[in-house]
Amino acid sequence: MLWHKAWIDTRWRFLIGLVVLVGLAIENVFYFSSAQTLNLGAVPGAAGWLADQLREIAHLSQSFGGYIWVQFVRQNLAQPWIILAALLGAEGLVSGRRGGLFTLSLPVSRSRLCAVRVATDLAELALLALVPMGIVSVVAPAVGHAYALADALVYGIGVFLGGAVFYALALWLSTVFNDRWRPIVISLAVAAGLIFCRNLTPALSAFSPVSVMAGESYFRTGEPAWAGLLAWPLVSAGLIFAAVRSIQARDF
């Protein structure tokens, strides 16, 4: 019943996250028409980085696809998703308190305990990326637009593969620190830093996980960022592997 327990331990986080992200998806879709009228009134002539950003958003928001990408995929999906990933990862693999000693007394190897937990977390994170995107595709016709399911899935997969590194980072940090807050804070700080860099120097940040998450390459060029989609999952795997090794060597 390890799987059952992994589900029980994470289900509220997952379900609340799912409700929030699906809610945001629906809200974003229905807000499209208002967004169009709103953005047209943005600062047309001002200079500076922020003004450039606003102009780009206004420009992209003219089309439904562009709007969904800049508002939802890149922001309203990716950012809460990163928070959920960090929360899931910081939960840790074997809690020193809350029944950890009982778990370790079971006839199950530590690597299996970790594997079940990680698999459950990753499955939930994948769903948290794919389902909201799928909802966009399903609900779009209600506002008179179309959003290809294939595109939705590509973006969803990108969010998951690019963003899993934040889950893995929080997970590895949870084996380094004893409390739950430092892994979360550090992972989110790293994510915030990367997002900031991406906005500041978009050319240099093409390879950054937040760009891969947002599907920058696919949106702008139609070509998925294959290198990033391969590299960042590998980094995630490395961090997860390090976390598991750390648990195996630990004294409880």
Partner 1 sequence: MTESNLIETTGLSKRYPDVIALDGLELAVPVGSIYGLLGRNGAGKTTAIKILMGMVHPTGGSARVFGLPANEAAAGVAIRQRTGFVNDERSLYDYMTVAEMIAFTASFFPRWRSDMAKRYVQSLDLPESRVVRALSRGTRTKLALLLAFCRGADLLILDEATSGLDPAAADEVLQALVAHVAGDGATVFFSSHQIGEIEQIADQVAIIDRGRSVLAGGLDELRGAYRRIELVFDGDAPAAVFRGPGVARVERQGRVLTVLASSNAAGLLEEGRSFGPVSVEARPVTLKEIFLDIVSRER
Return residues touching partner 1 (CB under 8 A): 1, 4-5, 8, 98-102, 104-111, 248-249, 251-252
Q: Which is nearer to partner 1, 14 or 67 (CB)?
A: 14
- Retrieve residue 119's tokens: 């698999």
Q: Which is nearer to partner 1, 77 or 243 (CB)?
A: 243
CB of 112 to partner 1, least distance (A): 9
Q: Which is nearer to partner 1, 106 or 146 (CB)?
A: 106
CB of 124 to partner 1, least distance (A): 19
CB of 195 to partner 1, least distance (A): 35
CB of 252 to partner 1, least distance (A): 5
Q: Which is nearer to partner 1, 45 or 107 (CB)?
A: 107
CA dist., res. 27 & res. 49, Å (int):
28
CB of 97 to partner 1, least distance (A): 8
CB of 100 to partner 1, least distance (A): 7
Q: Which is nearer to partner 1, 53 or 248 (CB)?
A: 248
Q: Which is nearer to partner 1, 46 or 108 (CB)?
A: 108
CB of 119 to partner 1, least distance (A): 18
Q: In Å, how far are 63, 135, 139, 181 from 148, measured between CA atoms?
A: 14, 11, 11, 39
Convert the chain into a string of H (helix), E (strand) and C (coil): CHHHHHHHHHHHHHHHHHHHHHHHHHHHHHHHHHHHHHHHCCCCCCCCHHHHHHHHHHHHCCCHHHHHHHHHHHHHHHHHHHHHHHHHHHCCCCCCCCCHHHHHCCCCCHHHHHHHHHHHHHHHHHHHHHHHHHHHHHHHHHHCCCCCHHHHHHHHHHHHHHHHHHHHHHHHHHHHCCCCHHHHHHHHHHHHHHHHHHHHCCCHHHHCHHHHHHCHHHHHHCCCCHHHHHHHHHHHHHHHHHHHHHHHHCCC
Q: Which is nearer to partner 1, 11 or 59 (CB)?
A: 11
